[in-house]
């Protein structure tokens, strides 16, 4: 027998920069719904002011109700520490549902905590797959999706991936890309906040993945390839703290001079303004692949795969891997005015947050995915209930 429930308390868990851009539209949409209480938990996975703190101010996110202050560590230690610190918070709050975002360690850790406490989990940005298990994020995606009760996908390839993994279709909802909501809302302001004195034509570079920055030969080859275009355009390089450390360790700062310009990590609005005006973006970031597709800016991804194939098949993204000849050739085409012209994927329209709020309230308030026992805090998946 299915019992109707009144959803009143939603707990959101975020921990790193990409999460903040995704949670903001959902918080805003749910704040407009009556009888909904929200709790925001920040694990503290990102702790640098420009990588975390200033984002809350710029995105209009309220101060977290709880900050676990986990900080940096190895993947295992960080995941374990998040679980240890989050468990008593969930037990005390007794939320009706916990909403998780993206594919960072905080996401997978929270999914495991909630699964063991029998608290329902909704995963925003579900179903994305790179099919590369050497990526920590891929492990986090697989774990989170397997443990989640409602899977909210940003693109239809996510639905297809989940179906291939045997996820029941009634657990899956295609809602669109919630990060685009934030981009749409803040782009006019971001354009005005781009750093002053920008060159007429410039490339924007971001690198942070271990596969690129932890190998001195690979990092050197990327920087040397980009330096070949110094006569044709500046390369602006906001440096992730991890990458800054590797540049120092490997003695590669000498390659970052002249028109290849190192910058400090930038807050969201300033970085978005730089993306908007860039001739091209060279990156290994997943989120930037999406943002450049929406902005119509050619993107060259220094990875062998992507969990966001819509940015390649529909958008402006091209995978160049570690083939520096291909990277150079693609930059040459862009400088010649022959860069990739893409389109926006379905439901990348700035309204995903509203659809997520609707889906949460409709599915959970109607008891669509759970049968409740007499105890309000114990949830049994409908497909296993007797």
User: Are the C-beta atoms of residues 165 and 187 closer than 8 Å to each other?
Assistant: no
Question: What's the confidence (pLDDT) of residue 365?
Answer: 65
User: pLDDT at residue 4 above 90?
Assistant: no
User: Are the C-beta atoms of residues 299 and 203 closer than 8 Å to each other?
Assistant: no
Region label for 34, one of left (φ > 0), alpha (ψ between -120 and 50) or beta (otherwise) = beta
User: pLDDT at residue 30 above 60?
Assistant: yes
Give the contacts of 335 (CB within 8 A, at least 6 positions apart). Answer: 201, 229, 232, 233, 279
Out of 3.40.50.2000, 3.40.50.300, 1.20.1270.30, 3.10.450.50, select the CATH number for domain 196-265+278-335.
3.40.50.2000
Give the residue carrying structure tokens 């996110």: 61
Mean pLDDT, all residues of the chain = 90
Of 119-133, 247-261, 277-291, which gets the smallest average pLDDT? 247-261
Question: What's the confidence (pLDDT) of residue 129?
Answer: 98
**Each residue's pLDDT tens digit, 73-118:** 899 999 999 999 999 999 999 999 999 999 999 999 999 999 999 9
Strands (E), the chain: 9-14, 37-42, 66-67, 97-101, 121-124, 150-153, 172-174, 202-205, 234-238, 260-263, 280-283, 299-301, 317-319, 370-372, 379-381
Higher pLDDT, 158 or 242: 158
User: pLDDT at residue 6 above 80?
Assistant: no
**Strand 66-67 to strand 37-42: parallel, antiparallel, or no bridges (unpaired)?**
parallel
Whole-model pTM: value is 0.89
Q: For the domain bounded by 9-182+348-384, which CATH number is listed?
A: 3.40.50.2000
Helix (H, G, I), strand (E, B) or coil at 12: strand
Query: Do 196-265+278-335 and 9-182+348-384 have the same topology in CATH?
Result: yes
User: Are the C-beta atoms of residues 72 and 78 closer than 8 Å to each other?
Assistant: yes
The residues assigned a catalytic role are: 208
**Structural domain boundaries of the chain?**
9-182+348-384, 196-265+278-335
- Give the model's confidence band at 52: pLDDT under 50 very low, under 70 low, under 90 confident, else very high: low
Question: What's the confidence (pLDDT) of residue 58?
Answer: 86
- Give the model's confidence band at 14: pLDDT under 50 very low, under 70 low, under 90 confident, else very high: very high
Question: What's the confidence (pLDDT) of residue 56?
Answer: 78
Question: What's the confidence (pLDDT) of residue 197?
Answer: 87
Question: What's the confidence (pLDDT) of residue 376?
Answer: 32
- Give the model's confidence band at 119: pLDDT under 50 very low, under 70 low, under 90 confident, else very high: very high
Question: What's the confidence (pLDDT) of residue 379?
Answer: 32
- Give the model's confidence band at 8: pLDDT under 50 very low, under 70 low, under 90 confident, else very high: confident
- Give the model's confidence band at 53: pLDDT under 50 very low, under 70 low, under 90 confident, else very high: low
Task: List the one residue out of 156, 55, 141 whose CA is nearest residue 100.
Answer: 141
Contacts for 163-172: CB closer than 8 Å, 24+ residues apart: 168/383, 170/368, 170/369, 171/369, 172/126, 172/127
């Amino acid at each position: 027998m299915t019992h109707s429930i009144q959803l009143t308390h939603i707990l959101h868990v975020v921990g790193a920069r990409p999460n903040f851009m995704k949670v903001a539209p959902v918080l805003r949409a749910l704040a407009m719904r009556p009888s909904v209480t929200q709790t925001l938990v920040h694990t503290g996975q990102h702790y640098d002011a420009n990588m975390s703190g200033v984002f809350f101010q710029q995105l209009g996110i309220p101060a977290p109700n709880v900050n676990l202050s986990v900080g940096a560590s190895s993947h295992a230690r960080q995941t374990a520490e998040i679980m240890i610190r989050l468990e008593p918070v969930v037990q005390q709050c007794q939320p009706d549902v916990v909403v998780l975002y993206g594919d960072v360690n905080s996401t997978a850790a929270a999914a495991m905590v909630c699964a063991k406490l029998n608290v329902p989990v909704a995963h925003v940005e579900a179903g994305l797959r790179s099919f590369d298990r050497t990526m920590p994020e891929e492990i986090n995606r697989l774990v989170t999706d397997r443990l989640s009760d409602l899977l909210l996908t940003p693109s239809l390839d996510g639905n297809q991936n989940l179906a291939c993994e045997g996820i029941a279709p009634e657990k899956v909802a295609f809602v669109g890309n919630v990060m685009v909501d934030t981009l749409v809302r803040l782009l006019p302001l971001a354009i005005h906040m781009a750093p002053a004195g920008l060159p007429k034509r410039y490339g924007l570079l971001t690198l942070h993945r271990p596969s690129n920055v932890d190998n001195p030969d690979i990092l050197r080859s990327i920087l040397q390839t980009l330096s070949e275009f110094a006569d044709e355009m500046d390369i602006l390089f906001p440096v992730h703290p991890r990458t800054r450390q590797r540049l120092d360790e490997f003695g590669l700062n000498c390659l970052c001079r002249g028109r290849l310009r190192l910058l400090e990590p930038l807050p969201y609005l300033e970085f978005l303004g730089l993306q908007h005006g860039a001739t091209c973006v060279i990156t290994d970031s997943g989120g930037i692949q999406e943002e450049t597709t929406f902005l119509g800016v050619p993107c060259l991804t220094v990875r062998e795969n992507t969990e966001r194939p819509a940015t390649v098949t529909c958008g402006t993204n091209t995978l160049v891997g570690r083939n520096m000849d291909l990277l150079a050739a693609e930059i040459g085409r862009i400088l010649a005015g022959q860069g990739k012209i893409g389109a926006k994927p379905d439901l990348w329209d700035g309204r995903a947050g509203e659809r997520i709020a609707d889906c949460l309230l409709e599915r959970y308030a109607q008891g669509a995915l759970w049968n409740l026992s007499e105890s309000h805090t114990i949830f049994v998946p409908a497909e296993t209930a007797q």
